[in-house]
Structure 1
Amino acid sequence: MTPQNSTPQNNTPSARSAQGNKARNEKGHERSRPTVRSYTKQAPGQRTRAADPARLVAFEVLRAVSEDDAYANLVLPKSIRKHHLDKRDAGFATELAYGALRGQGTYDAILAKCVDRPLERLDPAVLDALRIGAHQLLAMRVPAHAALDQTVGLARAVIGAGPSALINAVLRKVAARDLDSWLEELTRGETDPTKRAAIEHSHPEWIVRALRQSLVAHGRSVEEITDLLQADNDAPVVNLVALPGLGTLDEAREAGAVDGELVADSALYSAGDVGRLESVRAGTTRVQDAGSQLVARALAAVDIGDRTADGSRDGEQWLDLCAGPGGKAALLAALANEKGAILLANEPAAHRAKLVRQALEAVPGEVWDVRTGDGRSIAEQYPDTFDRILVDAPCTGLGALRRRPESRWRRKPTDVGELGALQRELLTAAVDAVKPGGVVGYVTCSPHPAETTAVVADVLRLRNDLELLDAGAALDSASLTGNLEAGHELTAQLWPHIHQTDAMFLALIRRKV
């Protein structure tokens, strides 16, 4: 796991250390702080007893993730607003929360060396506080005395005086070495490259193996695994999309956003809470990974020939089979509005179908409709109906670990097999619902071959009326660069370490006439 820098500059709660140049040792590990540490000389009665709001926000996020199985990206903005953090402290809280979650595997291995009992016997709140302290000490430009004092103060305020003494003692042991030294100790004598990578880059071993297999399955070198794991640990920049014909990026640009280089109508935003943008609140500009934008645009643009007697394409019917929570559905609906098509967005869960409707409100209502129902039964109601179908299938999400850092610790190897049956059923339903001559786009936010190429191959094997189109060429046509080098054997795979997107998979399946 490579250290991450923070942006603030001094020891006060509202001003942290600014990001500086990182040095690398001879092994290539990044160092973002000196190894010489100073500690507070304050007497116990003078030490911090209040919780710094930024650290409190990070702690609340970790507790919600651990205790309530919450998603960090949903909890964090609410907590930031609740505690009225300014832009600088919000950035600090974001890096601290996400960094502690990403680095949990490495930090827990280090903490296990510093605690006199198994970590599972610690109070979960204490363990979360220790992870927050470890991230500050080992991967942020926070002076050791400030990291210790503020983390112990947080513990006193929200956990108790007794646990705070334990946290103080443990974090002092953590602070005795820098991250490189800890990694050297943890991996000393380990010859299994998968186990070493799991410790160094804070991924479960099974995910490291799965990603190595995924690289090879999609035509890439297994030697890229280090870059891929590191990309998972890099804090992603917020990607925006202006809905075509409806939104604009002007407000985002005025706030500091820069135009995306991969896909039209996109921007990269790093100016704080994106919810402050009026265009985002209105829904005409949305937060969406560039990879998701690309696969939606590729499906919308692929040539399927004339669809009406007069040679026009007006009247096409599109389907988003797994639409919740509505990000891709909104982009597809905007594209459908431009092309004279109609979109049906399907979502089985009623509460997520409500989110889809909210996402689609920015698009003229005559262009779209929402169905609440099991996608596996779509062909019973709509056989041979749709010109284009997006199957954004439920998956393990191994391609979005940088955006959902807690997912790597929640997922299990058995999830891959359990989801595989559902993925096959949804894709089968889609090819039954598409018109002859129409196209189904099968998409996952996972590069795992068991969720990507194997699913497609199994469905194609059972039918003689299906054929693969060149998904790599379709992505190239939809991109601004025109040369993504994402295609392999007619399917396409994007990668965070190459394309700076989530690891989106795309297969385009045409039903023969």
Structure 2
Amino acid sequence: MSDRSPRNRAPHRRPDKVRQLAYRVIRQVNGDDGYANLALNKALRDQRLGGRDAAFATELVHGTLRWQGTYDAFLARSVSRPLGELDPELLDLLRLGTHQLLRMRVDSYAAVNEMVTLTRSEVGQKRSGLVNAVLRKISQRSFDHWIDAVAPSEDEDRLGHLSIAKAHPRWVIDAFADVLGSGQALDELLDADNEPPRVTLVARPGLADVDELIEAGATRARWSPYGAVLQGGGDPGRISAVATGRAGVQDEGSQLVATALATAPLEGSDTKWLDLCAGPGGKSALLAALVTEREGELTAVEPLKHRAELVRSNLRAVPGDHRVLVGDGTKPTWPSGWYDRVLADVPCTGLGALRRRPEARWRRTPEDVTELRPLQEALLGSAITSVRPGGLVAYVTCSPHPHETREVVDAVLGRRGDAVLEDARPLFPGVPSLGDGPDVQLWPHLHGTDAMYLALIRRT
């Protein structure tokens, strides 16, 4: 069939390659349960995009996914039938167009025309009219005016208003409000979740130092003695220390909780450490480097083979006889009380890393919290059993949800009489606003880190 019709005698334009790349990455995420960072990085490498094009593609992908729920509320007022009746491919095109119109400095005429062209290329000519009409309707209001039109008023339902205005599912906001209250701190957290995170590096002790990373263009991190921030983004792999595994990409919060476990006072032997839930291996590499300095060894356990390979890759530059085991951390194959220090960085909803995982907020459900709870308790129980009397366990999650943090710790310790909570706050020197203790909750809006949680437990 010809590209020309009586209504459109000009040949169809080719779609903009950056928008096309962004749309296809979004489809991988929403259609195939992909991960935005992995899919986008691969697409940029495959298409050899860098500089402004890469930055534009990143904002298109991450921004569209981050604000997806809010855009759906706008689109529901702009489409004549329920959004659930639209093809997923068409809905993602509308979301991508809405992001350009309302949250980016893209001329509205250009944004609509480019999206119509992309629609013709990706889903066919018949759908282009609907995309054109809907996006023109979206362009008639600013972002703030759309919020006023679709969100409940703050006086009527403050948390419901924040759910639309700050692009977080209501159940997530309810959970955050349980910890922070419903005032300014909650607003600040939600705003921080919507800011792109900085690229934070870790210099693995004995292999690299922060000065080397600074010479490569980074600046010193705020809290971690091993941390540096890569200014202006860019590819961390261009830095020699990162490329060779002597340094890595690791959020500062992750560095802090691993360092806290390593530096907590311990009497007696201190050469056998265990990472019970190791994949993908960032904390494992930091702990392995630290225990190597004490002439000790790390055992890293990961149930999935492909993630165990990631752990091995992270450990490749660390000297010593460190082991990576493919196995179930809830079913130890080692004797009880074998280890001196144990990290239990348990699987969780990841609600503390919404800055860097924009799709996670819409993918997770309250049921995930309930379903993960038995595994979290089992892993913590296994960690306590694996550590010797006097030894230390760090229970860690990348979630501030109360059901995944202190409630898990209280439930496990309440069933056994051989372990006690210790005050972890002194292990974060110089870090403010750590709460009432004895556990520690880090926050994006207070500390610039992921919302990492740490409970330090000593076996008695």
Normalised TM-score (structure 2)? 0.94
- Offset of residue 166 of structure 1: 1.4
In the alignment, which of 436, 439, 442 is matched to residue 491 of structure 1? 439
The answer (yes or no) to whether the contact 1:49–1:156 under 8 Å persists in 2 is no
For 1:402 and 1:501, the matched residues in 2 are separated by 10
For 1:50 and 1:148, the matched residues in 2 are separated by 15
**Corresponding residue pairs, total:** 452
SS at the partner of 2:28? helix
User: 1:468 — aligned with what?
Assistant: 421
SS at the partner of 2:48? coil
SS at the partner of 1:339? coil
The answer (yes or no) to whether the contact 2:66–2:359 under 8 Å persists in 1 is yes
After superposing the two structures, state which structure 1 stretch, 447-456 or 154-163, moved more: 154-163
In the alignment, which of 285, 293, 313 is matched to residue 247 of structure 2? 285
- Offset of residue 47 of structure 1: 8.7
Residue 86 (1) aligns with residue 47 (2): no
- Offset of residue 274 of structure 1: 2.4
User: 1:350 — aligned with what?
Assistant: 305
User: 1:396 — aligned with what?
Assistant: 349
- Offset of residue 486 of structure 1: 1.2
Residue 371 (1) aligns with residue 325 (2): yes
- Offset of residue 247 of structure 1: 2.4
The answer (yes or no) to whether the contact 1:468–1:509 under 8 Å persists in 2 is yes
Which residue identity is paired with 1:99?
G
The answer (yes or no) to whether the contact 2:424–2:437 under 8 Å persists in 1 is no
In the alignment, which of 154, 157, 169 is matched to residue 192 of structure 1? 157
Q: Which runs of 5+ in 2 are unaligned?
A: 1-6
For 1:352 and 1:85, the matched residues in 2 are separated by 28
- Offset of residue 248 of structure 1: 4.3
- Offset of residue 119 of structure 1: 1.0
Which residue identity is paired with 1:281?
A
User: 2:388 — aligned with what?
Assistant: 435
Which residue identity is paired with 2:382?
A
User: 2:175 — aligned with what?
Assistant: 210
Alpha carbons of 1:211 and 1:354: their partners in 2 closer, same or farther (altered >3 Å)? same
User: 1:14 — aligned with what?
Assistant: none
User: 2:187 — aligned with what?
Assistant: 226
1:72-111 → structure 2 map (5 Å cutoff): 72-111=36-75
User: 1:10 — aligned with what?
Assistant: none
For 1:361 and 1:271, the matched residues in 2 are separated by 25
Alpha carbons of 1:341 and 1:131: their partners in 2 closer, same or farther (altered >3 Å)? same
SS at the partner of 1:375? coil
- Offset of residue 237 of structure 1: 1.0
User: 1:337 — aligned with what?
Assistant: 292
User: 2:222 — aligned with what?
Assistant: 261
Residue 244 (1) aligns with residue 205 (2): yes
- Offset of residue 265 of structure 1: 2.4
Which residue identity is paired with 2:217?
G
- Offset of residue 506 of structure 1: 0.2
Which residue identity is paired with 2:205?
P
Instruction: Tell me the alpha carbon deviations over residues 70-104 of structure 1, each in whole angstroms, 9 at most, x when there is no partner.
Output: 11111010001111112111011111100000100
The answer (yes or no) to whether the contact 1:48–1:152 under 8 Å persists in 2 is no
User: 2:99 — aligned with what?
Assistant: 135
For 1:71 and 1:108, the matched residues in 2 are separated by 20
Which residue identity is paired with 1:208?
I
For 1:63 and 1:47, the matched residues in 2 are separated by 27
SS at the partner of 1:51? coil
Instruction: Tell me the alpha carbon deviations over residues 30-58 of structure 1, each in whole angstroms, 9 at most, x when there is no partner.
Output: xxxxxxxxxxxxx9666972222221221
Instruction: Tell me the alpha carbon deviations over residues 485-511 of structure 1, each in whole angstroms, 9 at most, x when there is no partner.
Output: 214230000001110110000000001
Instruction: Tell me the alpha carbon deviations over residues 17-39 of structure 1, each in whole angstroms, 9 at most, x when there is no partner.
Output: xxxxxxxxxxxxxxxxxxxxxxx
For 1:93 and 1:144, the matched residues in 2 are separated by 18
User: 1:305 — aligned with what?
Assistant: 267
Alpha carbons of 1:442 and 1:265: their partners in 2 closer, same or farther (altered >3 Å)? same
Identity %: 50
- Offset of residue 243 of structure 1: 1.0
For 1:432 and 1:189, the matched residues in 2 are separated by 51
- Offset of residue 483 of structure 1: 3.3
- Offset of residue 348 of structure 1: 1.0
For the aligned residues, what is the CA RMSD? 1.8
For 2:235 and 2:14, the matched residues in 1 are separated by 26
Q: Which runs of 5+ in 1 are unaligned?
A: 1-42, 308-312, 477-481
For 2:62 and 2:278, the matched residues in 1 are separated by 27
Alpha carbons of 1:189 and 1:459: their partners in 2 closer, same or farther (altered >3 Å)? closer
In the alignment, which of 269, 278, 294 is matched to residue 256 of structure 2? 294
Which residue identity is paired with 1:399?
G
Alpha carbons of 1:185 and 1:289: their partners in 2 closer, same or farther (altered >3 Å)? same
User: 1:322 — aligned with what?
Assistant: 277
Normalised TM-score (structure 1)? 0.85
